[in-house]
Amino acid sequence: MYRNLSPEEFLKNPARFHVIDVRSQEEWDSFHEAGAIHVPLIGLEERAGELPKDRPLVLVCRTGGRSARAAQMLGRLGFDARNLMGGLRMLAAARAQNGQIGREEALEIMRRLG
């Protein structure tokens, strides 16, 4: 199963999900979510057997394009996969909007994301 997940919906209960970051190593090194699992989109299908299945997966990238492809692929492989709409950029904005992080921290995250 594959579907989109809004940042706001994700933030209601992030512990309910495993976050899978499908960006490149360089992007990951620049910024990533605490607790996320890094599996670049290139090679994701080959490494799918390494992914946990005890909770839904939320696939993330910078803006949601690569993660949508990843979620669709994993959905076809039988995973409960969700694409984080708008990616890490929209997640930072949502966190700032609901007061989880300050505006300056959100801007720094977005700068690091590029």
pLDDT tens track for 49-91: 999 999 999 999 999 999 999 999 999 999 999 999 999 999 9
Examine the pLDDT at 8 and tell me if it is beyond 70. Answer: yes
Q: Single out the catalytic residue among 61, 74, 88, 91.
A: 61
Asked if 61 is an active-site residue, the reply is yes
What residue ranges do the domains of the chain occupy? 2-113
Say how far apart CA 81 and CA 75 lie, in whole Å: 6
CATH, range 2-113: 3.40.250.10
